[in-house]
Amino acid sequence: MARIWLRDPLAVHLGAGADPRLATRGIVIDTQSGTIAELVAMGENPVADEVFDASAHVITPGLINTHHHFYQTLTRAWAPVADLPLFGWLVNLYPVWARLTPRALELATTVAMAELLQSGCTTAADHHYLFPTGMDEAIDIQVDVTRRLGMRAMLTRGSMSLGEDDGGLPPQQTVQDPDVILADSERLVSRYHERSVGAQVQIGLAPCSPFSVTTSLMADSAALATRLDVRLHTHLAETLDEEQFCRERFGLRTVEYLDSVGWLSDRTWLAHGVHFNDDEVAALGRAGTAVAHCPTSNMRLASGIARAVELEDAGVPLGLGVDGSASNDASNMIREVRQALYLQRLRYGTEQVTSARVLDWATTGSAATLGRADIGSIAPGMQADLAMFRLDGLAFSGSHDPIAALVLCGAERADRVMVGGKWRVLDGQVAGLDVEGLIAEHQQAARTLVTAS
């Protein structure tokens, strides 16, 4: 079918600042181009080859996850780290993650992306920085899974080069030679990075963090990203421990360090960004450096509350991320929207942090964070990436405003998800995926990983 009319939805959240009345009667999708053909206002009856009754659905742009570690689905709710802060959590998990195998990564990536799809997410950024022996093609594996499931992904070639022998946090068996890192980064960009509108796979460069990467590799990665015209990603200002590490090792605060290695630019997006002072918030805004806010992870590890509203008001592109499934322990984007609402209301109150605003962080804001202008909102010509949620369960009985109910009553799963005009989730299930078989093999891989000697 060339044109599908999603007719008469309960409500449509078009994106930041758009008038929902433009789509009162729904949305028409051009399935051949994979784009939105038109918005249907009250009284209009468009020409369509197929009509889908959306009267039980709230439609949003496909949610966009700006920070994740797919491999961590293998170490969810692991007892030895369940009650530790970031540094202790990492020190205990690094040796476990160092045993990662190609098949385990493939399973972990599939689980993470399938769970994201079910939660209404259509694009995900993954930060993979572990390349133990035998894992040279980790990003290649993730590309294959992305294409198989039909999602979009920003897959970042992460790295660690500063081991514990040289004053870093990771054990030596998890770090790589900088020349190997840079060469593989260039290979991946050349082979997989798509630059066209509607790109399915993009590659970014992502040294892990100030406490796991040398200053020279940070600077060299920035130079390479500029030459290849790709984006940069790293963890920054997640905890006070990290800030203290930067002060002691570099004599600089985190944002000063970022600037010193050539990262303070609109090419960069940062994971977490919890501990910025007023001057740093302003500097990030002037540079256009983006931030991926990860509320659940920040609560789980007791890292703090990001200054999300002030960052956005200063001009920082602000998106949402679920973070890794060992610090969230879920890969659920619509749940992350609700967590962002409640956590940020603790800092800024109810009037500044509305249901519509946090939905914008997960859509238009997240798209800007990843440097994309073709996804994240519903308008003619945009990619037809949509999430459709039903509000007909007990949890929604008695609710009134559909957009507020989606967030406040706590939606958990999308009923339908479309990526590029193709249905990827139908009746809450990922199309074509043997979920039971996946869970069984993934569970076994998880047990093997944590029990191997």
Tens of pLDDT along 198-218? 999 999 999 999 989 999 999
pLDDT-derived band at 93, boundaries 50, 70, 90:
very high
For residue 196, the one-letter residue type is S
Q: What pLDDT does 174 receive?
A: 87
pLDDT-derived band at 23, boundaries 50, 70, 90:
very high
Parallel, antiparallel, or unpaired for β 232-236 and 268-272?
A: parallel
Residues 6+ apart with CB under 8 A from 319: 64, 66, 269, 290, 291, 292, 293, 361, 362, 365, 366, 367, 368, 369, 370
Averaged over 361-383, what is the pLDDT? 98
pLDDT at 353 over 80: yes
pLDDT-derived band at 150, boundaries 50, 70, 90:
very high
pLDDT at 129 over 90: yes
Q: What pLDDT does 452 receive?
A: 76
pTM value surpassing 0.95: yes
Estimate the crossing angle of helix 86-97 against helix 240-250, to 10 degrees: 80
Q: What pLDDT does 88 receive?
A: 92
pLDDT at 78 over 90: yes
pLDDT-derived band at 225, boundaries 50, 70, 90:
very high
Q: What pLDDT does 171 receive?
A: 86
pLDDT-derived band at 83, boundaries 50, 70, 90:
very high
Tens of pLDDT along 289-348? 999 999 999 999 999 999 999 999 999 999 999 999 999 999 999 999 999 999 999 999
Q: What pLDDT does 422 receive?
A: 98
Tens of pLDDT along 395-418? 999 999 999 999 999 999 999 999
pLDDT-derived band at 173, boundaries 50, 70, 90:
confident
Distance CA 140, CA 134 (A): 13
Percent of the chain surpassing pLDDT 70? 100
The domains found in the chain, sorted by start residue, are 3-61+383-430 (2.30.40.10), 63-369 (3.20.20.140)
For residue 407, the one-letter residue type is V
φ/ψ of residue 441, rounded to 5: -75, -35
What 3-state class would DSSP assign to 296? helix
Q: Can you point out the beta strands (E) in 240-363?
A: 268-272, 290-293, 318-320
Q: What pLDDT does 431 receive?
A: 97
pLDDT at 453 over 80: no
> Mean pLDDT, the chain, as a whole number?
96
Q: Can you point out the beta strands (E) in 312-396?
A: 318-320, 386-390
φ/ψ of residue 124, rounded to 5: -135, 140
Percent of the chain surpassing pLDDT 90? 94
Buried b / exposed e over 112-149, threshold 16 CB at 10 Å, is: bbbbbbbbbbbbbbbbbbbbbeebeebbebbbebbeeb
- DSSP percent split of the chain into helix, strand, coil, nearest 5: 40, 20, 40
Place of tokens 């100030």: 210
What 3-state class would DSSP assign to 239? coil
**Judging by beta carbons within 10 Å of its beta carbon (0-12, 13-18, 19+), is residue 91 exposed, middle or buried?**
middle
Distance CA 305, CA 239 (A): 10
Distance CA 179, CA 299 (A): 37
Summary count for the chain: helices (H), strands (E): 15, 18
pLDDT-derived band at 108, boundaries 50, 70, 90:
very high
Parallel, antiparallel, or unpaired for β 35-40 and 26-30?
A: antiparallel
pLDDT-derived band at 164, boundaries 50, 70, 90:
confident
Averaged over 75-82, what is the pLDDT? 96
Tokens of 137: 């093609």
